[in-house]
Amino acid sequence: MTTPPDPAALPLVPLPTQADPADATAPRLLVVYTGGTVGMAMNAAGELAPMELHRLDRQMPELARLPLRVSLVSLPQPIDSSNVAPADWLFLAQLIGEHYADFDGFVVLHGTDTMAYSAAALSYLLENLGKPVVFTGAQVPVGARRSDAQRNLVTALEIAAARHPLASTVRVPEVCLFFNDVLIRGTRAKKVESQQFAAFKSENYPPLARAGIGLEFSDNSIRLLPAARLRVHQRFETGVAVLRLFPGITAAVVDAVLGVPGLRGCVLETYGSGNAPTAAWFMASLRGARARGVWLLNVSQCVEGRVVQGKYETSAALAGLGVVGGDDITTEAAVTKMMFVLGLSLDDTRTRPLLGQDLRGEITP
């Protein structure tokens, strides 16, 4: 998105559903189409490329049977999720904030490749979120045979409209991701499959809901409704990098990453429970980065488990150098969290605890 449009200027298109548009009791939902496989079609070169999704109702007749009031807003230029950038996250947050009072929930149609990053980013930007923001998409385009787009979108809409049966309050007041049959917290999602429909996994945290014959919510895993009003943040620090360790990594590689001009923070993907080489040159590189004001966040390469700095000798020295332990956070949530926290432009005494503590359910207390 080179020149973001004014969110208020984008037209909202009502979709025909079973609900009477005049029925104020029917949940009102906004579908935000950003692009991705769900809305792709073959271009002249025979390649899948994003298309305009003007008539979603024609592609998905199932929508006509939903007892919901649904409107669609589409980005003027839908994008492949591989091209998503922090500016797009800021725009999506602004768009949701613009329409927050008018809708009961939001569904974001998004490409799968970076959906976990986007869901995590929106989790941080939408502070005190009291309504569902459900990311979903598809592995197969909506117009193709055996597409998973219809099932994913219809279920995402049902989740966004769900109310608690006892309290009649919002069932899932947080940013989340629904795919195939599982609802995942936005800061816990990781894409693990490119060829199967079960593309995402909830890392180090139980799913918020599962979709079978019905929707089975895990209410104890879902965040509580906030007492404060929504706050939409509008700044991300983009001077962030990821350094994945591997046996044989050299000083030249480490220094090249940590020495990037303008670098403000780096996510270190370490071994096991947060272990890293103890070689003098490696420690000197980290020490030099911290001396230049670069924040370092320790995240495990393991899919499950957590960072425990100091459990082994190979991680004990990291804390002494000022490396912040990321506990059981995912890389996707760590990268976007670092962009968010550093974007707040706080002093060191406030930045360090924010990097290490749970903000949006990304860390298990």
Dihedral angle over CA of 247, 249, 250, 253, nearest 10:
180
- Position 35 scores a pLDDT of 82
Range in 57-66, 158-167, 202-211, 289-298 with the lowest mean pLDDT: 57-66
Closest to 27 in 3D by CA, of 130, 141, 163, 129: 163
Please give, one letter per residue, the 3-state secondary structure of 217-233.
ECHHHCCCCCCCCCEEC
289: pLDDT strictly greater than 60: yes
Query: For residue 354, with 0-12 CB atoms within 10 Å meaning exposed, 13-18 middle and 19 or more buried, which class applies?
Result: middle
- Position 49 scores a pLDDT of 57
Interval 82-101: pLDDT, tens? 899 999 999 999 999 999 99
- Please, which pLDDT band fits residue 165 given cuts at 50, 70 and 90? confident
Output the CA–CA distances (angstroms, integers) from residue 297 to 187, 250, 268, 305, 356, in the order listed.
Answer: 16, 20, 6, 16, 8
CB atoms within 10 A of CB 268: 27
- Please, which pLDDT band fits residue 50 given cuts at 50, 70 and 90? low
- Position 89 scores a pLDDT of 96
Alpha carbon of residue 139 to chain centroid: 17
Query: Tokens 């006509």 — which residue?
Result: 64
Enter the tokens of residue 339: 């962009």
Q: What mean pLDDT comes out for the span 28-39? A: 84
44: pLDDT strictly greater than 70: no
Q: What mean pLDDT comes out for the span 45-58? A: 61
What is the pTM assigned to this prediction? 0.93
213: pLDDT strictly greater than 80: yes
60: pLDDT strictly greater than 70: yes
204: pLDDT strictly greater than 60: yes
236: pLDDT strictly greater than 60: yes
By the 8 A CB rule, do 139 and 161 touch?
Answer: no
Closest to 299 in 3D by CA, of 277, 264, 282, 324: 324
Rounded CA-CA distance 180/246 in Å is: 33
Rounded CA-CA distance 74/323 in Å is: 41
- Please, which pLDDT band fits residue 30 given cuts at 50, 70 and 90? very high
Crossing angle (nearest 10°) for helices 115-125 and 86-99: 50
Interval 170-203: pLDDT, tens? 999 999 999 999 999 999 999 988 888 788 899 9
- Position 8 scores a pLDDT of 85
Q: What percent of the chain has pLDDT over 90?
A: 69
Please provide residue 42's backbone torsions phi and psi, each rounded to the nearest 5 degrees.
-75, 130
Closest to 30 in 3D by CA, of 157, 186, 182, 158: 157
Higher pLDDT, 6 or 158: 158
Enter the tokens of residue 91: 């725009």
- Please, which pLDDT band fits residue 14 given cuts at 50, 70 and 90? confident
By the 8 A CB rule, do 115 and 333 touch?
Answer: no
299: pLDDT strictly greater than 90: yes
Which residues are within 8 A (CB) of 234 and not within 5 positions of it... i.e. 6 or more apart?
Answer: 90, 93, 94, 125
Interval 137-149: pLDDT, tens? 888 777 667 777 7
- Position 138 scores a pLDDT of 87
- Position 16 scores a pLDDT of 80
- Please, which pLDDT band fits residue 1 given cuts at 50, 70 and 90? very low
Q: Average pLDDT, whole number, for the chain?
A: 90
Q: What percent of the chain has pLDDT over 70?
A: 91
Give me the active site residues, please. Answer: 37
Query: For residue 298, with 0-12 CB atoms within 10 Å meaning exposed, 13-18 middle and 19 or more buried, which class applies?
Result: buried
Please provide residue 291's backbone torsions phi and psi, each rounded to the nearest 5 degrees.
-65, -30
Q: What mean pLDDT comes out for the span 128-153? A: 86
